[in-house]
């Protein structure tokens, strides 16, 4: 499909209509059914393992394919913050998740349902008035994309403006806090998170960001800011804001045609390399020059125009300021990484909050081996081959060993986590495209400049 999505996730779900549970009680009951279903699955799995003479842990019983499917299906039904958190887990864990679980959770990136016509009509009537259809020459009732917070429709005004309009699901904004708390409770009772790990600051920040993403007036302003920052550039195009049809719950922008960026996996190597070079350059400028970053790395937030070679940037709801301390931490880590000294890299990572004291005290040899692997990959001369994932398997094995010691678990500062989410997601896209980019030279030039 060739279309502009402008959405907050991906998924062409035009044949999957399901009303969004918008009331607090209806959403709570969905979580209750989810918890009951997962508990039943855990009991069944536990009985099977005990019968085989095994001693399963709670997390082993929780992370079964059957339970992952239950969680994915129910979060897709809830949409909103619940589904968004599931998407974030599936992307942010990246290569560190078991392959089977990663594939199942990835369903959340293309499983969104869209609102039935009656619910859509009610939402738009509240935002634009009862006679809103008269304000358009055409309004496509079936969305061209549906995701966690809203769905996107194509429309044309009487004066010929082609628009993509994102419509927020009802009840999503009001349910953010409770949804985040309920997902956190599921993680707690499952035993997946150690009780000693304080995720309070992260949950508070997640709620703040999700409230910002649900404010379409704010997103429109951020889209305009990026339009100005990237004006006149050959590599990127940003949709223009249409103020007439933009409200807190509807975001209207110029329709810009393009193909999903994942389709470039079949393109020539030079095309894939050029696209990733542009995206990595953008991330470096966001971090060290713009002091502003769009922190959602979902692949659906990028489209590609084969006829122009330009990248269409979409979805600016997760745009946030880059804290000076965060940028400085990355600057020091990258400088240490270019130097290749393990002690310098470890110290810079500790100072930036990436590594906690528990990991250093309990697993320093293992930690240093992981640092050495990363350093060796990043300091090689010539282009970095994102498609060569052999070193990731090594890091996963060593990381799992450290992760088994929950006393060594550590959460980096929340501002750093959001920046790292963008960096990690960009690297995952590079892996998908098997791109080759001279990252070392780009970083060296950026730090020098």
Q: Which residues pair with 292 in a beta bridge?
A: 321
User: What is the Cα gyration radius of the chain?
Assistant: 22
How do beta strands 259-260 and 302-305 pair?
A: antiparallel
Q: What is the DSSP letter of 110?
A: S
Q: N- to C-terminal Cα distance for the chain?
A: 41
Q: Which helix (H) or strand (E) holds 44?
A: helix 24-51
In a 10 Å sphere around its CB, with 0-12 CB exposed, 13-18 middle and 19+ buried, how is residue 35 labelled?
A: middle
Calculate the CA dihedral of residues 101, 426, 206, 446 and round it to 10 degrees. 150
Instruction: Pull the structure tokens for residue 248.
Output: 């807190």
Residues with a known catalytic role? 296
| Ramachandran class of 171: left when φ > 0, alpha when ψ lies in -120 to 50, beta otherwise | left
Task: Tell me if residue 145 falls in helix, strand or coil.
Answer: strand
CA-nearest of 77, 246, 280 to 166 is: 246
Instruction: Pull the structure tokens for residue 26.
Output: 């209806």
Q: Which residues pair with 320 in a beta bridge?
A: 293
What is the C-alpha to C-alpha distance for residues 131 and 328, in angstroms, rounded to an integer? 52
In a 10 Å sphere around its CB, with 0-12 CB exposed, 13-18 middle and 19+ buried, how is residue 315 labelled?
A: buried
Task: Give the max Cα distance, the chain.
Answer: 72
DSSP assignment string, 306-337? TTTTEEEE---TTEEEPPHHHHHHHHHHHHHH
- Asked if residue 108 lies in contact with residue 87, where contact means CB atoms within 8 angstroms, the answer is yes
Instruction: Pull the structure tokens for residue 171.
Output: 């009840």
């Amino acid at each position: 499909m060739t279309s502009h999505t402008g959405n907050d996730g991906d998924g062409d779900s035009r044949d999957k209509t399901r009303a969004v549970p918008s009331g607090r009680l209806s959403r709570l009951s969905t979580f209750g059914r989810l918890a009951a279903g997962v508990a039943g699955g855990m009991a069944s799995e536990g009985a099977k393992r005990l019968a085989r003479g095994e001693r399963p842990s709670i997390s082993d019983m929780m992370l079964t394919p059957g339970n992952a499917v239950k969680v994915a299906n129910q979060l897709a039904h809830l949409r909103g913050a619940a589904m968004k958190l599931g998407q974030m887990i599936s992307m942010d864990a990246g290569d560190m998740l078991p392959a089977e679980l990663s594939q199942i959770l990835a369903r959340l990136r293309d499983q969104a349902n869209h609102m039935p016509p009656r619910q859509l009509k009610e939402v738009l009537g509240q935002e634009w008035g009862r006679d809103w259809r008269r304000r358009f020459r055409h309004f496509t009732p079936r969305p061209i994309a549906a995701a966690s917070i809203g769905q996107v429709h194509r429309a044309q005004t009487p004066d010929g403006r082609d628009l993509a309009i994102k419509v927020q699901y009802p009840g999503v904004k009001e349910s953010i806090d409770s949804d985040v708390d309920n997902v956190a409770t599921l993680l707690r009772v499952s035993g997946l998170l150690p009780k000693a790990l304080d995720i309070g600051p992260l949950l508070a920040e997640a709620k703040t960001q999700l409230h910002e993403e649900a404010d379409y007036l704010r997103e429109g302003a951020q889209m305009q800011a990026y339009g100005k920052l990237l004006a006149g550039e050959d590599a990127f195009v940003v949709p223009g804001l249409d103020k007439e049809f933009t409200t807190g719950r509807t975001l209207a922008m110029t329709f810009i045609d393009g193909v999903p960026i994942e389709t470039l996996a079949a393109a020539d190597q030079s095309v894939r390399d050029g696209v990733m070079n542009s995206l990595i350059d953008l991330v470096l400028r966001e971090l060290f020059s713009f002091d502003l970053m769009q922190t959602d790395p979902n692949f659906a937030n990028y489209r590609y125009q084969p006829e122009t070679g330009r990248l269409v940037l979409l979805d600016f709801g997760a745009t946030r300021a880059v804290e000076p301390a965060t940028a400085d931490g990355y600057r020091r880590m990258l400088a240490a990484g270019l130097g290749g000294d393990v002690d310098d890299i470890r110290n810079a990572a500790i100072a930036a909050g990436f590594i906690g004291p528990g990991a250093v005290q309990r697993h320093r040899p293992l930690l240093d081996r992981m640092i050495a692997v990363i350093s060796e990959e990043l300091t090689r001369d010539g282009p970095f081959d994102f498609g060569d994932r052999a070193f990731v398997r090594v890091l996963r094995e060593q990381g799992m060993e450290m992760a088994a010691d929950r006393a060594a678990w550590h959460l980096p500062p929340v501002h750093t986590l959001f920046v790292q989410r963008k960096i990690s997601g960009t690297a995952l896209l590079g892996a998908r495209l098997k791109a080759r980019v001279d990252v070392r030279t780009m970083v060296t030039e950026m730090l020098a400049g």
